[in-house]
Chains A and B, each alone.
Chain A
Amino acid sequence: MKIGLEVHVALPTKSKLFCACSTTSEEPNSSICPICLGFPGSKPMLNKAALEYSLDVASALKCVSKNRTSFVRKVYFYPDLPKSYQITQLHDAIGVDGHLDLEKKRVRIRRIQLEEDPAKIIREDNYTLVDFNRSGLPLLEIVTEPDIASEDELREFLNELRSILYYLGVDIEKELKVDLNISVSDARVEVKNVTGIRNLVDAARYEIKRQEELVSKKQKIVAETRSYNEKSLKTDASREKESDEEYGFIYEPDLTFYKIEEKEREEPIIASRIAEAISKKYGCSKKTLLELVQFDSKALELLQHSQGKWPIQSIINVIEVLKRYESIKLSNEKFTELLEISKSGHQITDQIIKNVTSGSHVKVTVSDVSSEEIDEEIGKMIAANPKIMLEHEKNPKALNFIVGAVAKKLNASPRLVSERLGLVLKKGFKN
Chain B
Amino acid sequence: MGGAKDSKKQKIEKVNYPKLLRELSKLNDELRFFTVINENVSEGVPFSVKDNLCVKGFESRAGSKILKGYLPPFSATSVERMMNKGFGFLGKTAMDEFGFGSFGVNTDVVAKNPFDDKCVAGGSSSGAAVAASVMKNHVAIAESTGGSISNPASFCGVVGFTPTYGLVSRYGLIDYANSLDKIGIMARSSSMVRETFEIIKGRDGYDSTCVDKKVSALKKKKIVVIDQLMNGVSEEIKSTFQVLLARLENQGYAINHVSFDFIDKAIPAYYIISMSEASTNLAKYDGYKYGMQYGDFTKKYNEFFTNARESFGTEAKRRIVLGTFVRGASVKDKYYTKALKVRTALTNKLAGLMKDSFILSPTMPITAPKIEEARKLSPLQTYAMDALTIPPNLSGFPHVSFPYAYIKGMPVGAQLVTSHFNDYALLDFVSEWEKSFEYQFKHNL
The yes or no answer to B328 lying at the interface (CB within 8 A) is yes
Q: Do residues B288 and A254 form an inter-chain contact, with CB atoms below 8 A?
A: no
CA distance A90 to B327 in the complex (A): 14
Interface residue from B67, B171, B178, B302 paired with A77 (Cβ < 8 Å): B302
Known contacts being A83-B284, A250-B277, A253-B277, is A45 close to B208, with CB within 8 Å?
A: yes
CA distance A40 to B298 in the complex (A): 26
The segment from B7-15, B19-27, B32-40, B71-79 that touches chain A is B71-79
Q: Do residues A126 and B298 form an inter-chain contact, with CB atoms below 8 A?
A: yes
Residue of A nearest to B177 (CB): A253
Q: Which residues of B contact A210 (CB under 8 A)?
A: none
The yes or no answer to A12 lying at the interface (CB within 8 A) is no
Q: Do residues A253 and B209 form an inter-chain contact, with CB atoms below 8 A?
A: yes
The yes or no answer to B142 lying at the interface (CB within 8 A) is no
CA distance A343 to B35 in the complex (A): 85
Q: Do residues B328 and A75 form an inter-chain contact, with CB atoms below 8 A?
A: no
CA distance A128 to B299 in the complex (A): 11
The yes or no answer to B172 lying at the interface (CB within 8 A) is yes
Q: Do residues B289 and A77 form an inter-chain contact, with CB atoms below 8 A?
A: no
The yes or no answer to B173 lying at the interface (CB within 8 A) is yes
Interface residue from B74, B209, B283, B297 paired with A126 (Cβ < 8 Å): B297
Q: Which residues of A contact B171 (CB under 8 A)?
A: 41-43
Q: Which residues of A contact B62 (CB under 8 A)?
A: 40
Q: Which residues of A contact B70 (CB under 8 A)?
A: 40
A-B contact count (CB 8 A): 113
Q: Which residues of A contact B208 (CB under 8 A)?
A: 43-46, 254-256
The yes or no answer to A325 lying at the interface (CB within 8 A) is no
B interface, over-half SS: loop
The segment from A153-161, A241-249, A277-285 that touches chain B is A241-249
How many Å from the CB of A259 to the closest CB on chain B? 14
Q: Which residues of B contact A243 (CB under 8 A)?
A: 329
Instruction: Classify chain A: how many residues form its interface, as a range.
Output: 35 or more
Interface residue from A40, A44, A126, A256 paired with B67 (Cβ < 8 Å): A40
CA distance A23 to B157 in the complex (A): 51
Q: Which residues of B contact A255 (CB under 8 A)?
A: 208-209
Q: Which residues of B contact A40 (CB under 8 A)?
A: 54, 60, 62, 67, 70, 72, 174-175, 284, 290-291
Interface residue from A85, A244, A246 paired with B280 (Cβ < 8 Å): A85
How many Å from the CB of A19 to the closest CB on chain B? 9
Q: Do residues B277 and A84 form an inter-chain contact, with CB atoms below 8 A?
A: no
Q: Do residues B205 and A45 form an inter-chain contact, with CB atoms below 8 A?
A: yes
How many Å from the CB of A423 to the closest CB on chain B? 57
- Among A37, A249, A250, which residue has the most Cβ atoms of chain B within 10 A? A250
Q: Do residues B328 and A246 form an inter-chain contact, with CB atoms below 8 A?
A: yes
CA distance A244 to B332 in the complex (A): 11
Interface residue from A41, A73, A246 paired with B54 (Cβ < 8 Å): A41
Chain B contacts to A: CB under 8 angstroms: 53-54, 60, 62, 67, 70, 72-74, 76, 170-175, 177-179, 205-209, 276-277, 279-280, 283-284, 286, 288-291, 297-298, 301-302, 305, 324, 327-330, 332, 336, 340
